[in-house]
Amino acid sequence: MELNQLNMPLLEKLFSASITFREVPTEKLGELGRSVMEMLGVAPYFPIPLYVLHTCNRVEVYAWDVPQPIVHAVLSRYGGYADRVVVRRGTEAALHLLEVAAGLDSMLIGETDILGQMEEAFDSQVKSHVTRDLLKVVVERAIRFGKMVRTNTNISRGPRGLGSLSIIYVKETMGDLSNLSIGIIGAGSVGQGLAKELKDEGARRIYILNRTFEKAKEIAERIGATAMPLNRESIDECLKKCDVVFATATSFEPIIKEVPPNHKVRLIVDLGVPMNVSNNLPVKVVRLDDLKPIADRYNSERLQEIQKVKAMALEEVENIERALARRAVEIELGEYMRLVALISQEEGRRAGANASLAANSAAKRAVLPLIEALKKHAESGNIETVMQILNDAKRLMKIPQASTS
C-alpha cells in the first residue's frame, strides 16, 4: 500500500522540521543546533510535546498537534536557513523518523550511532517532560524499529558508524593502531563505541577524557584504557601524549581551540556535536566531509537492503497508528476510570465504610471487559468512534457532589 493511501487519523497530528548535511554544510549544523536546542529550556511549558534530535549530521524537531504559531516559532530557530528546512506532516513525518532510526538518512547508510543518539535524546527529554503523551509513543516505536531493522537485515553490515569510518581513515593514513597512542574526548554513545572498536582493532594505548570522570573510568576499566578528567590541562596533556585524538563530545564551544607547542598529536578527528575543534590548527583535522568517500564505498554494498527496510518502515507506520490508538484510549479511559472511582466511593460511603472498598473493586471489575473491547476497536481503526463513545459516556455520567458534612 502506498503512503498516501493510508488512513492514519492520529498520525496526521505529527509534525517534523528537518535540516541535514544535505541541505547545509556540516559546520553550519552546529550553529543551528545551538538555537534549536535552546527550545528545550522552555519546552516543558509548551502546550505541545516536542522531541529534538541534534547530531553531527542533522537538526530535527518533532512535535504533536502543532498550531501554526508554534510552527513559525520552530522554523524561526533555524534563522537564515529556515527556507532550507524540510517540513513533513502526518505519515510522511512518521516514515522519515523511522528511516532516520534505521540509518537510511545518514551519511553512512545503516550506521548505528544515530540509534544511540536518538535514545540519549529520548531519555533526557522524557525525564524533563518535553517528550510525552502520544509523541513519546511514536519516538519509542521508532527506536525499537531501528533496533529490529539492524537485527533482521544486513543494512549495518560492515562499518557500523562514523566512528568506524574514522578508524578506517586513521588506519589508511597512519598505519597499525598498535603503534599509536590514541585519545578519545567524550564518553557518550559515539565515544564508547569508538573505545571498544579501537581496542578490538588492536589499539594498545587509549586515553578516555570525560566531564564525568566516573563514566570515563568505568569505560576505561572495561577495555584496559586510561581515564582522565575533561579540562583544559588534561586536553593539553592528551595532545602531548597522543598521536591521534578523537573529539566526540557535545559542546556548543570548541573543546580543542589550540595545541601546545610541544604537542605529539598528528591527527585530530572531529566527530563532536557540534564541531569540537577550532579551525586553523597546525595539525591535520579530519571533518565529517573527509569521511564521505569512505562512506560511499560501503553505501554501494548496502543499496540492495534499502528497499527491504523501506517496506518494513511502511508496515511499521501502520503498527504505530494502532499503538497510538491504544494509548489514546488508555489516556481517555484514565479520566473515565477516575470518574468511576468517584461514583463507587460515593456509593460505598452511602452504604457504609466497610462497603466502600468492595464497591470500588466491583466497579472496576465490571468496567474492565469494556475497556479491553474499546482498545481493540481503537486498534482496528475505529479510534474516532471509540473516543466519541467515551466522551458521551463521561457527559452522561452523574458525578457525585463533594460532601459538605
Question: In this predicted structure, what is the pLDDT of residue 347?
Answer: 62
Q: Which residues are annotated as a binding site?
A: 55-58, 106, 111-113, 117, 186-191
Q: For residue 148, what pLDDT band results from cuts at 50, 70 and 90? A: very high
**pLDDT in the model for residue 188:** 86
User: Residue 238 catalytic?
Assistant: no
Q: Give the Cα separation of 363 and 344 in Å (integer).
A: 7
Averaged pLDDT for residues 325-334: 79
Residue 167 counted as domain residue: yes
Domain span at residue 250 reads: 162-296
Same domain, 85 and 172: no
Identify the CATH number of the domain in which residue 282 sits: 3.40.50.720
Q: Letter for the amino acid at 136?
A: K
Residue 23 in any domain: the answer is yes
Categorize the per-residue pLDDT at 397 as very low, low, confident or very high, splitting at 50, 70 and 90.
low
Whether residues 152 and 185 share a domain: the answer is no
Residues 196 and 290 both lie in one domain: yes
**Confidence at 149, pLDDT banded by 50, 70, 90:** very high
- Same domain (yes/no): 138, 176: no
Band of pLDDT at residue 394, cut at 50, 70 and 90 = low
Quote the CA–CA distance of 312 and 147 in Å, as a whole number.
12
Task: Categorize the per-residue pLDDT at 403 as very low, low, confident or very high, splitting at 50, 70 and 90.
Answer: very low
Quote the CA–CA distance of 156 and 45 in Å, as a whole number.
Answer: 39
Does residue 246 share a domain with residue 210? yes
User: Mean of the pLDDT values across residues 301-315?
Assistant: 93
For position 365, what pLDDT does the model report?
A: 64
The CATH number for 152's domain is 3.30.460.30
- 49 lies in the same domain as 91: yes
Higher pLDDT, 347 or 307: 307
Q: What is the pLDDT of residue 405?
A: 41
The pLDDT > 70 percentage for the chain reads 86
* Within a domain: 382: yes
- Quick one: pLDDT at residue 175? 94
Which of 96-110, 296-310, 386-400 shows the lowest per-residue confidence on average (mean pLDDT)? 386-400
d(CA 191, CA 203): 15
105 vs 56, higher pLDDT: 105
Q: Are residues 380 and 270 in the same domain?
A: no
Between 127 and 3, residue with greater pLDDT: 127
Task: Kindly state whether residues 13 and 144 are assigned to the same domain.
Answer: yes
Q: How many domains does the chain have?
A: 3
**Is residue 196 very low, low, confident or very high in pLDDT (cuts 50, 70, 90)?**
very high
pLDDT of 344 strictly over 80: no
Q: Are 285 and 169 in a shared domain?
A: yes
CA distance 345 to 368: 17
Residues 346 and 230 occupy one common structural domain: no
Q: Are 287 and 189 contained in the same domain?
A: yes
Residue 309 lies in a domain: no
Say whether pLDDT at 379 is over 70: yes
Contact 14, 89 (CB under 8 A): yes
Task: Specify if 105 maps to a domain.
Answer: yes
Domain boundary among 157, 187, 222: 157
Whether 172 shows a pLDDT value over 80: the answer reads yes
Question: Which residues are CB-neighbours of 230 under 8 A, at least 6 positions away?
Answer: 185, 186, 209, 210, 211, 216, 249, 255
Question: What is the 3 state secondary structure string of 52-117?
Answer: EEEECCEEEEEEECCCHHHHHHHHHCCHHHHHHCEEEEHHHHHHHHHHHHHCCCCCCCCCCHHHHH
| Cis peptide upstream of residue 274 (ω within 30 degrees of 0) | yes
**Binding residue positions for substrate:** 55-58, 106, 111-113, 117
Decide if 308 is inside a domain. no
Asked if residue 199 and residue 143 are part of one domain, the reply reads no
pLDDT: which is higher, 331 or 78: 78
* Position 310 in a domain: no
DSSP string computed for 170-201: HHHHH--GGG-EEEEE--SHHHHHHHHHHHHT
pLDDT number for residue 366: 61
Among the candidates 157, 184, 214, a domain finishes at 157
pLDDT at 339 over 70: no
pLDDT digits (tens, 9 = 90+) for 68-90: 888 998 899 898 899 999 999 99
Do the domain assignments include residue 153?
A: yes
**Which are the contacts of 391, defined by CB distance < 8 A and separation ≥ 6?**
332
Q: Which of 14, 32, 40, 56 is catalytic?
A: 56
Q: Which 8-state DSSP code applies to residue 250?
A: B
Final residue before a domain boundary, out of 133, 157, 181: 157
pLDDT at 377: 72
Q: What rounded mean pLDDT belongs to the chain?
A: 86
The annotated binding site for NADP(+) is made up of 186-191
Whole-structure pTM over 0.95, yes or no? Answer: no
